[in-house]
Structure 1
Amino acid sequence: MLRMGMFGRCLAAAGLSWFACSAFAATGGSPVGSTNVTTADPAVPRPPGQPCVVQLFQDDVFNDFGTRPYSYTPPAGCGTKWAKVVLEADFSVTAGVQYDRTASIWLGGVDLYFGTTEEPSSTVAPSWHVERDLTDYSALLRNAGQGQAILWNLVSSTYTGVIHGSAKLLFYPASARAPAPRVPDQVIPLGSDPVGSVTNLATSTDQLSKTLTLPRNVVHAYLDVFAQSQNADEFWYTCVPDQYAAAVQECGGGNFREAEVSIDGQPAGVAPVYPWVYTGGIDPYLWRPVTGVQTLNFMPYRVDLSPFAGMLSDGAQHTVALNVAGANNYFSTAATLLVYQDSHSSQVTGGVTRNTLAGQAPTPTIASTLDSTGNGGITTHLKRHFTIEGYVDTSHGRVKNTVDQTVGFADTQTFTINATTYRQVTDQLTSMDGTSSSSDGSSYTQHVSYPFRLDYNEQVAPDGSVAVATTVAQGYRLDRSTGFFGFPLYADRVDNTVDSADTLDFDAGGNFTGHTGQASTQAFAYRDTLGGCYRGGVGSAAGAVTAYTRGKGCPGGQNGVYWFSHPDGSSWQGDALTGW
Structure 2
Amino acid sequence: MLPKGCFSRCLAIAGLSLVLGGVAQAAPGGSSPVGSGNVTVADPTVPRPPGQPCVVQLFSNDTFNDYSPRPFNYTPPAGCGTHWSKVVLEGDFSIDAGVQFDRTATIFLSGVNLYFGTTQEPTSAEGRSWHVERDLTDYTALFRNAGEGQVFIGNIVNSQYTSSLHGSARLLFYPASVVAPAPRVPDAVYPLGSDPIGSTVTLNDSSSQMAATLTLPANVERAYLDVFTQSQSNDEFWYTCVPNQYAAETQECGGGNFREAEVSIDGQAAGVAPVYPWIYTGGIDLFIWKPTPGVQTLNFMPYRVDLTPFAGILSNGSSHTVAVSVQGANSYFSATASLLVYQDQGAKQVSGAVVRNTLANQPPTPTIGSTLQQDSSGNVTGAVTTDLSRHFVIEGYVNTSHGRVTTTVDQTVSFADTQTFDITATDFHQISDQLTKVDGVSRSRIGNFLSGEYESRFRYPLHVDSNETIESDGSFSILTSIKQGYDQHAGLSLGGFPLYSSDVHNQVAGSDTLLVNSSFQITGHSGQQATQNFAFSDSLGGCYTGSVSSANNLVTAYSTGKGCPGGQSRVLWFAHPDGSPYLGDSVLPW
**Could you tell me how far apart the structure 1 residues matched to 2:290 and 2:194 are?**
37
Partner SS, residue 244 of structure 1: helix
> Does 1:425 pair with 2:431?
yes
Q: How does 1:350-365 map to 2 (within 5 A)?
A: 350-365=352-367
1:383 equivalent in structure 2: 389
- Equivalent of 1:404 in 410, 424, 430: 410
Maintained 8 Å contact 1:83/1:178: yes
1:537 equivalent in structure 2: 547
**Could you tell me how far apart the structure 1 residues matched to 2:550 and 2:163 are?**
24
Q: CA deviation at 1:359?
A: 1.4
1:206 equivalent in structure 2: 208
Q: How does 1:301-450 map to 2 (within 5 A)?
A: 301-372=303-374, 373-440=379-446, 441-450=451-460
**Could you tell me how far apart the structure 1 residues matched to 2:518 and 2:91 are?**
44
**Could you tell me how far apart the structure 1 residues matched to 2:511 and 2:325 are?**
34
Q: CA deviation at 1:123?
A: 1.6
> Does 1:481 pair with 2:495?
no
Partner SS, residue 138 of structure 2: helix
Kindly tell me: are residues 509 and 470 of structure 1, through their superposed partners in 2, closer, same or farther at Cα, counting changes over 3 Å?
same
Kindly tell me: are residues 174 and 509 of structure 1, through their superposed partners in 2, closer, same or farther at Cα, counting changes over 3 Å?
closer
Maintained 8 Å contact 1:564/1:576: no
1:492 equivalent in structure 2: 502
Maintained 8 Å contact 1:26/1:38: no
Q: Give the AA of the match of 2:105.
A: A
Partner SS, residue 515 of structure 1: strand
TM superposition score normalised by structure 1:
0.95
Partner SS, residue 329 of structure 1: strand
**Could you tell me how far apart the structure 1 residues matched to 2:330 and 2:125 are?**
36
**Could you tell me how far apart the structure 2 residues matched to 1:275 and 1:26 are?**
32
**Could you tell me how far apart the structure 1 residues matched to 2:570 and 2:72 are?**
36
Stretches of structure 1 lacking an aligned partner (at least 5 in a row): 1-23
Q: CA deviation at 1:578?
A: 5.6
**Could you tell me how far apart the structure 2 residues matched to 1:72 and 1:513 are?**
47
Q: CA deviation at 1:579?
A: 7.4
**Could you tell me how far apart the structure 2 residues matched to 1:395 and 1:196 are?**
35
Deviates more, 1:503-512 or 1:121-130: 503-512
**Could you tell me how far apart the structure 2 residues matched to 1:328 and 1:131 are?**
31
Q: Give the AA of the match of 2:416.
A: A
1:89 equivalent in structure 2: 91
- Equivalent of 1:33 in 35, 42, 55: 35
Maintained 8 Å contact 2:64/2:155: yes
1:551 equivalent in structure 2: 561
Partner SS, residue 287 of structure 1: coil
1:471 equivalent in structure 2: 481
2:109 equivalent in structure 1: 107
> Does 1:293 pair with 2:299?
no
Across the two proteins, how many residue pairs are aligned to each other?
557
Maintained 8 Å contact 1:84/1:173: yes
Maintained 8 Å contact 1:564/1:577: no
Note the alpha carbon deviations across 1:548-573, whole angstroms, 9 max, x for none: 00000000000000000000000111
**Could you tell me how far apart the structure 2 residues matched to 1:319 and 1:444 are?**
26
- Equivalent of 2:579 in 542, 549, 569: 569
Deviates more, 1:64-73 or 1:478-487: 478-487
TM superposition score normalised by structure 2:
0.93
Kindly tell me: are residues 30 and 374 of structure 1, through their superposed partners in 2, closer, same or farther at Cα, counting changes over 3 Å?
same
Partner SS, residue 417 of structure 2: strand
Q: Give the AA of the match of 2:440.
A: G
Q: CA deviation at 1:25?
A: 8.5
Q: CA deviation at 1:275?
A: 0.2
> Does 1:503 pair with 2:513?
yes
Q: How does 1:171-186 map to 2 (within 5 A)?
A: 171-186=173-188
Maintained 8 Å contact 2:194/2:200: no
1:513 equivalent in structure 2: 523
**Could you tell me how far apart the structure 2 residues matched to 1:239 and 1:97 are?**
28
- Equivalent of 2:462 in 441, 452, 457: 452
Kindly tell me: are residues 51 and 416 of structure 1, through their superposed partners in 2, closer, same or farther at Cα, counting changes over 3 Å?
same
Q: CA deviation at 1:512?
A: 2.8
1:148 equivalent in structure 2: 150
**Could you tell me how far apart the structure 2 residues matched to 1:579 and 1:206 are?**
40
1:126 equivalent in structure 2: 128
**Could you tell me how far apart the structure 2 residues matched to 1:191 and 1:516 are?**
43
Kindly tell me: are residues 25 and 392 of structure 1, through their superposed partners in 2, closer, same or farther at Cα, counting changes over 3 Å?
farther
Percent identity over paired residues: 64
Q: Give the AA of the match of 2:387.
A: H
Q: Give the AA of the match of 2:102.
A: D
Maintained 8 Å contact 1:411/1:428: yes
Kindly tell me: are residues 540 and 230 of structure 1, through their superposed partners in 2, closer, same or farther at Cα, counting changes over 3 Å?
same
